Amino acid sequence: MDLGQRQAEAPGVAAASGAVTATVRGGDGWPVPEAVLTVIDGTGTQVARVQGDAQGSVVAAGLRAGAYTAIVTAVGHEPLARTTLVHDGTAATLGEVELRRVGGADLPAPGLWRIDPVHSSIQVTAKHLGISSIRGRFNDFGGEVRIGNPVESSTVDVRIAAAGIDTANGMRDDHLRSADFLDVERHPEITFRSTGLRPRGGDRWDLDGELTLCGVTRPVRLDTRFAGVGPDPWGGTRASATATTQLRREDFAMTFNQALQTGIAAIGTTLKVEIDIQAVRED
């Protein structure tokens, strides 16, 4: 796609060398394809209108130096405007621009929603040697969400089979199942039960609960983002949400480590947890 061909013509613009760039993402972090970037100069004149690519990247080139208003739009999303300063020969980047879906604030209907593990994931990341990350996921889990009225009275109950840890390395997985880490023989199940839900604004929520891991129960807070609700191809209705949190291993009696000669621990003391859930409404 020749982005330059899509840009509106204006006197003097073609000879200029500045640009405005952006990467457009939805609330779920995925690219928004073919988003449109419109650039307005200080007189209110539209000097560029460019359509992005399938990866959410969009570039408006051939701009003179000056202050501009950049407006990003996409079908089914709320528009977003930002001001930016362009210099000759350089690109003013808007960075990652997040567009919210129109009607994205609509919440699931009250009632029982069951988590679909086939279309959901629970991923855990730990630092290794202080320079890289090891990622694993739990392959065996389930649970339910009871949407209340008001929605703040909703509850979440999740059960995870600890032995289902999968880091794509059998020897490492066996070690993670041992008493050094998950100790699955004594503590076969990891559970989360919510204790409160509080809005943070927009599609963001704080989900508080009690996590039981390795036989230890502690309060945790999930930074939760509601992604939407709608029909599925099988005649049902689905709701989706993502959540993240960080856990300290020592809080859950997982203190095994190996010290390197440099003094750096082989395994990071903090775990990053990333959750992506689809739940199906029960009739």
Query: In the structure, what pLDDT confidence band is assigned to residue 97 with cuts at 50, 70 and 90?
Result: very high
What pairs with residue 68 in β-bridges?
84
The b/e string for 10-37 (b: 16+ C-beta within 10 A; e otherwise) is beebeebebbbbbbbbbbbeebbeebbb
Clarify whether residues 27 and 90 are in a common domain: yes
Question: What proportions of the chain, in percent to the nearest 5, are helix, strand and coil?
Answer: 10, 55, 35
For the cut 50, the answer to whether the pLDDT of residue 44 exceeds it is yes
Instruction: Give residue-wise pLDDT tens across range 152-211.
Output: 999 999 999 999 999 999 998 999 999 988 999 999 999 999 999 998 877 889 999 999
Tell whether 212 and 85 lie within a shared domain. Answer: no
Long-range contacts of 199-207 (CB under 8 A, 24+ apart): 199/152, 202/100, 202/105, 203/27, 203/100, 203/104, 203/105, 203/227, 207/156, 207/243
Count of structural domains, the chain: 2
176 within domain boundaries: yes
Separation between Cα atoms, residue 51 and residue 32, nearest integer Å: 11
Domain presence at residue 104: no
3-state DSSP call for residue 76? coil
Q: Which residue has the higher pLDDT, 26 or 191?
A: 191
Q: Which residues contact 176 (CB under 8 A, 6 or more apart)?
A: 136, 165, 167, 182
CATH of the domain at 91: 2.60.40.10
- Domain identity same for 152 and 269: yes
Instruction: Provide Rg for the chain, Cα atoms.
Output: 24
* pLDDT(19) > 90: yes
CA nearest neighbour of 43 among 7, 68, 11: 68
With respect to residue 105, please indicate whether it lies within any of the assigned structural domains: no
- The last residue of one of the domains, among 44, 78, 99, is 99
Tell me whether residue 106 is in a domain.
no
Residue at 58 is within a domain:
yes
Model confidence at 96: pLDDT above 70: yes
pLDDT of residue 258: 53
Starting from the edge strand earliest in sequence, which strands make up the sheet with 91-99, in order? 57-63, 18-26, 91-99
pLDDT of amino acid 26: 81
